[in-house]
Structure 1
Amino acid sequence: METLPTVLDIEASGFGRGSYPIEIGLARADGSCCAFLIQPLDEWTHWDPKAELLHGISRERLFQEGYPVRQVARWLNDELAGLGKAYSDSWGYDNTWLSLLFHHAGMLPRFRLEALRILLTEPQQALWSQTKEAIIGDQPIQRHRAGDDARLLQLTYQHTRCAAEQGT
């Protein structure tokens, strides 16, 4: 059986200056996935109601159910240090939010985040959007939640790879 890339996805309070991570999800190489909500720090005040409409996570829920920043950073290091890397489809945003998380946790990441696209062949890239939409229609995936989005990316990678190898 092929090894799938470990995919990390982050939901955030919004985009741009002042935004911060609110949920981090992982899809592991074995296809299992998990996600953690993050308690906002006192200085993390940016909140975009449009972002909340997408991910459906309220700021109040983060305070009630979220985990402390340091605990999430420690968990990520425990999960990913052995692998050394994880992949993201929105590297620019996700890497910024990941850096912010680790900075405020007072820790260094023991892994690298890389762009998922570096793993894709040209045939995979050509099939990506259509394949992703087909999976969304076919699977019980809750969009804009970090764990499900990470798994969606991983499934899209797997399906495009199989299709590209078969020349379809």
Structure 2
Amino acid sequence: MTVPIIIDFEASGFGKGSYPIEVGFSGRHGEGWCALIRPQDDWHHWDHEAARIHHIPREILVERGKSAVYVAEQLNFLLKGYTVYTDGWGQDYVWMARLFDAANMVPRFKLADLREIITEQQKSNWHVTKENVLKELGIARHRASSDARVLQLTWLRTYDAGRQLDS
């Protein structure tokens, strides 16, 4: 079994005009990586409800965020050649594309839908297992790298539970 790399994007909101504000992933050995993304000059959309959920004020992004070029370079360096999975493929693909377009680069990794590697058996335990992982980790903030780690641990535990049932 190969542990999937899980990636997550946080964004300025949903819908047209939204852009990535944070990206994080949990690697094959559980190592985490994340970066705040400084908004481009033409990235204006800001949803106050989304900001309330992820607790990242726009001012912090402007002050502490990394450039799109830096973040795209780091993602390509760390994830080159891998398939990385997301539970929000439709949104995350758009936000990844906006990031890489702003950096004038192309991703050197493949973004795939996490549902591609979740079995029917895993689906039956997914939500309960995810809630247990959230409680165990005590995660209070909705942030990219912690969300990715929760998904990865949920995948691992439901995978292991399915294997035990098969034994």
Does TM, normalized by the shorter one, top 0.5? yes
Q: Give 1:143 deviation, angstroms.
A: 3.7
Cα RMSD of the aligned pairs, angstroms, is 1.2
**Counterpart position of 2:111:** 113
CA contact (8 A) 1:55 1:145 kept: yes
| 1:22 and 2:30 correspond | no
* Partner residue, 1:46: 45
Question: Any stretches of 5+ residues in structure 2 without a counterpart?
Answer: none
Tell me the SS of whatever aligns to 2:71: helix
Check conservation: 1:10, 1:23, Cα contact below 8 A: yes
Q: Partner of 1:166 in structure 2?
A: 164
Match of 1:141 in 2: 139
Report if aligned partners of 2:10, 2:21 keep a CA contact under 8 Å in 1.
yes
Matches of 1:109 and 1:14 in 2, distance apart? 23
1:88 aligns with 2:86: yes
Q: Which amino acid letter does the alignment assign opposite residue 121 of structure 1?
A: T
Structure 1 residue 142, shift from structure 2 partner: 4.0
Say if 1:142 and 1:148, in contact at 8 Å, map to a contact too.
Answer: no
CA contact (8 A) 1:34 1:147 kept: yes
Q: Secondary structure at the match of 1:14?
A: coil
2:95 corresponds to 1:97 = yes
Query: Does the CA contact (< 8 Å) of 1:3 and 1:30 recur in 2?
Result: no
The amino acid that maps onto 2:146 is D
Conserved? CA contact 1:37–1:62, under 8 Å: yes
Q: Where does the alignment leave 5 or more consecutive residues of structure 1 unmatched? A: none
8 Å CA contact 1:142, 1:149 repeated in 2: no
8 Å contact 1:128–1:156 — kept in the other structure?
yes
Q: 2:81 touches 2:110 (CA, 8 Å); kept in 1?
A: no
Structure 1 residues 114, 121: closer, same or farther in 2, change over 3 A? same
In structure 1, distance between residues paired with 2:119 and 2:69: 37
- 1:128 aligns with 126
TM normalised by structure 1 equals 0.95
